[in-house]
Amino acid sequence: MGLIPDGNRRWAREHGLAPTEGHRHGAVVMENCLKWCLENEIEEVSVYSLSIENLMKRPQDELREIFRVLAHYFNKLSTDDLVHKYEIKVRVLGRIYKLPDFVVKAANNVMRSTRPYQRHVLNLLVAYGAQDELLRCAQALSRSRIGRVTRKILERSLWVSRPVDLIIRTGGDHRLSNFLLYQSAYAEIFFVDKYWPDFTRDDFEACLEAFERSQRRMGG
């Protein structure tokens, strides 16, 4: 499953709050959503936490708050009972070297503390863009001694190797916005016309039910 939790800033604006409050409320909803995924036995979830474009274009004061929220969330996951009970491997993926040191440290801590786990995977895409991911793969493979690049070799080089079957995007925009372009080739995409802080369990269950009803022809 892929999640594009869009609309935190607009939610805050409509409630007369600073953008930082939208990001904080969004983090709480993300914690709840992780529980819903576990209850529905979803093995791998990829979350679009911060795009590379966001990193370059957002105001610095807002980015500082986003960094604080991310570091807090990573540190919380490191010791979270649910994470360790369900053996969730947490992976922070993207150009994380572009982030402040305290965020990188928190990211490394949660990845180190959950590295042995195999039952579930939570991919947090930070400073990420799908085109950037594919470019990184092409550059790495061109430097390697591999004579013939196959799909399997390419997929092993991606940050997220497994295909995504379901993507949920909130916020009202109907596009992928450079999210897992290769992995979502045959994904069912559900757009929810409400902001992420307003996303509920009922919304989540409705997407799952619609996915179960869909006929996945995979190009056939």
Look at residue 147 in the predicted model and tell me its pLDDT: 76
Q: Is 34 helix (H, G, I), strand (E, B) or coil?
A: helix
Determine the Cα–Cα distance for residues 204 and 192; give it in Å rounded to an integer.
Answer: 9
Q: Which residue do the tokens 């994380």 mark? A: 96
Position 143 scores a pLDDT of 85
Give 123: exposed, middle or buried? Use CB within 10 Å, 0-12, 13-18, 19+. buried
Q: Is the pTM of this model over 0.85?
A: yes
The side-by-side arrangement of strands in the sheet containing 2-4 is: 88-93, 120-128, 44-51, 2-4, 166-170, 188-192
Specify the amino acid at residue 94.
G
Q: For 2-211, CATH number?
A: 3.40.1180.10
Cβ atoms of residues 118 and 38 within 8 Å: no
- The pLDDT tens digits along the chain (220 residues) read 999 999 999 999 999 999 989 999 999 999 999 999 999 999 999 999 999 999 999 999 999 999 999 999 999 999 999 999 999 999 999 999 999 999 999 999 999 999 999 999 999 999 999 999 999 998 988 888 777 888 888 998 999 999 999 999 999 999 999 999 999 999 999 999 999 999 999 999 999 999 999 865 555 5
Residue 107: partners with Cβ closer than 8 Å, 6 or more residues away:
70, 74, 92, 96, 99, 124, 126
Residue 216: the pLDDT is: 58
Owner of token pair 């440290």 = 105
CA distance 53 to 35: 29
Catalytic residue set: 6, 54
Per the CB < 8 A criterion, the answer to whether 161 and 151 are in contact is no
Number of C-beta neighbours around residue 136 at 10 A: 16
